[in-house]
Amino acid sequence: MQFKPAVTALVSAVALATLLSGCKKEEAAAPAAPPPQVGVVTLHPQSYTLTTELPGRTTAFRVAEVRPQVNGIILKRLFTEGGDVKEGQQLYQIDPAVYEATEANAKANLEAAKSLTDRYKQLIAEQAVSRQEYDTARFTQLQNEATLRNAQINVRYTKVMAPISGRISRSAVTEGALVSDGQSTALATITQLDPIYVDVTQSSVELLKLRNELASGQLQKAGANAAKIKLTLEDGSEYAQEGTLEFQEVSVDQTTGSVTLRARFANPDHQLLPGMFVHAKLETGVAAKAILVPQQGVTHDIKGEPTALVVNKDNKVELRELKATQTAGNDWLVDSGLGDGDRVITEGLQFVKPGVQVNPSEATNVQKANATPAAGTTSGQGK
């Protein structure tokens, strides 16, 4: 009877071992976990028009300072300050009395000289006067004609006219003010607002890169719309009118390393005023086989370099290092690292890593248009 506890302990140990062995068999027989589900976007080359956003300022199309061309007293101001004036419209009236008297005297002298010339012309045929006397009378007539024309010009200059059409500033003088020919102070300034210029600056480095890509065939010219420019105003709104590129400066600013481009815009409502800050979107070229990748599928490593996880033909995850320097709306424009047919993971990135087997399906967190080839022109900003 004293050996019963030992037998009992032996039986318990055997039962425990049997139980543990059964658990191990059940664990070994448990099925493996299924591959994680991921959403992918299949990439295809697209025709994409590159646009560059550049800062700029508006500049008046023409500016004319109104100055007197004769001396005198201002009798009248004939325009509304801040209003629109037309080319050739009279703005001021300078006292013409002295100039009208000079004109009348010149007319009288011309009539006398003309009469003497006509009389000598008849007498020279009869040899009553010499040829030299006739020539002197004719020369005096020509001098008086020039004097009369000069007097008439001065009379006309007493009416100060608008040299261009546009919006006029406030007047710097009032009635009764004495003005003089060649004075430094302008009577008023006229600014032509329609059309209007927009001067933008572009880095010379970006300009060289663009030219090299066009020369190598990586980019094509944007065709008929190559010179078209759109504006974003200071408040973020889009300007309705589309502009055209006029010219590019032939030199680089030594202090900023940039080149100035000038665009011309219609401004019928005078919404744009000189000196306003704007952003211009300039079409620079067309990438015929651009690879656009949804931003959800692009991450950056600890060095800040863009990367993407791609599902290969065996449904395993691969890590790709990308070269992507420009966004295109909700996409990245990828220069290298991805190609036609690559399946980029945009959903479930947090559950996978390179080398893992996955179960891919079409992504639902991006617009379907991004996953199929399509020609389009999406604005982008260089980074």
Residues 188-210: tens digit of each pLDDT: 999 999 999 998 887 766 667 65
Quickly state the pLDDT bin for 253 (edges 50, 70, 90): confident
Residue pair 280/54 in contact (Cβ under 8 Å)? The answer is yes
The pLDDT of 156-170, averaged and rounded, is 95
Buried (b) or exposed (e) across 77-91, using 16+ Cβ within 10 A?
bebeeeeebeeeeeb
Q: How far is Cα 20 from Cα 90, in angstroms, rounded to an integer?
A: 112
Kindly state the tokens that stand for 84. 């629109």
The CA–CA distances, whole Å, from 242 to 61, 283, 329, 352, 357 equal 16, 12, 20, 47, 51
Q: Which pLDDT band holds residue 12 (cuts at 50, 70, 90)?
A: low
Among candidate residues 282, 236, 235, 230, the one with its CA nearest the CA of residue 260 = 282
Torsion, Cα of 144, 146, 148, 150 (10° steps): -140
Position 249, amino acid: E
Whether 346 has a pLDDT exceeding 70, the answer reads yes
Q: What is the mean pLDDT of residues 151-175?
A: 95
Structure tokens, 275: 């000196």
Task: Please tell me the predicted confidence (pLDDT) of residue 175.
Answer: 94
**CA 153 distance to own-chain centroid:** 45
Alpha-helical regions (H) of 158-284: 204-216
On the question of pLDDT at 30 being above 60, the answer is no
Could you tell me which residue, 1 or 212, shows the higher pLDDT? 212
Average pLDDT taken over every residue of the chain: 82
**Cβ neighbours of residue 356 under 8 Å, at least 6 residues apart?**
35, 36, 316, 317
Retrieve residue 325's tokens: 């320097």
Q: Which CATH architecture has domain 40-59+193-382?
A: Beta Barrel (2.40)
CATH top-level class for 70-94+158-185? mainly beta
Predicted pLDDT of residue 301:
87
pLDDT at 97 over 60: yes
Nearest to 220 by CA among 47, 43, 44, 45: 47
The predicted pLDDT at position 24 comes to: 53
* For range 48-74, the mean pLDDT: 90
Q: How confident is the model at residue 52 (pLDDT cuts 50, 70, 90)?
A: confident
pLDDT surpassing 60 at residue 3: no
Confidence (pLDDT) at 64: 95
**pLDDT at 332 (0 to 100):** 87
Asked if residue 225 has pLDDT above 70, the reply is no
Q: In terms of pLDDT, which residue wins out, 350 or 153?
A: 153
pLDDT exceeds cutoff 70 at 330 = yes
**Contact of 93 with 74, CB cutoff 8 Å:** yes
Confidence class for position 1, pLDDT limits 50, 70, 90: very low
Length of the chain: 383
Q: What is the mean pLDDT of residues 286-309?
A: 87
Q: 380 or 340: which carries more pLDDT confidence?
A: 340
* Per-residue confidence (pLDDT) for residue 220, from 0 to 100: 47
Query: In 106-187, where do the E strands start and end?
Result: 159-161, 166-168, 178-179
- pLDDT score of 182: 85
Q: What's the mean pLDDT in 1-13? A: 46
pLDDT over threshold 70, residue 174: yes
Q: Which residue has the tokens 């009577």?
A: 187
Burial label, 262 (beta-carbon count in 10 A; 0-12, 13-18, 19+): middle
Assign 368 a pLDDT band (cuts: 50, 70, 90). Answer: low
The mean pLDDT value for 353-375 works out to 71
Would the pLDDT of 232 be above 60? Answer: yes
Q: Is 60 exceeded by the pLDDT of residue 43?
A: yes
Nearest to 65 by CA among 245, 189, 180: 189
- List CB contacts of 270: < 8 A, sequence separation 6 or more: 167, 193, 194
CATH architecture of the domain formed by 96-157: Orthogonal Bundle (1.10)
Residue 158: pLDDT band by 50, 70, 90 thresholds?
Answer: very high
pTM exceeds 0.85 = no
Domain boundaries in the chain? 40-59+193-382, 70-94+158-185, 96-157
Among 196, 200, 138, CA closest to 167:
196
Give the tokens for residue 305.
């370099």
Return the number of other C-beta atoms located less than 10 Å from residue 154's C-beta.
21
Stretch 52-80: mean pLDDT: 93
Is the predicted pLDDT of residue 77 greater than 90, yes or no? yes
Instruction: Please tell me the predicted confidence (pLDDT) of residue 364.
Output: 87
Q: How confident is the model at residue 261 (pLDDT cuts 50, 70, 90)?
A: confident
Looking at 173-182, 257-266, 338-347, which range is the least confident one?
A: 257-266
Lowest mean pLDDT among 18-22, 117-121, 201-205, 333-337: 18-22
| pLDDT at res. 369 | 46
Helix (H), strand (E) at residue 280: strand 277-294
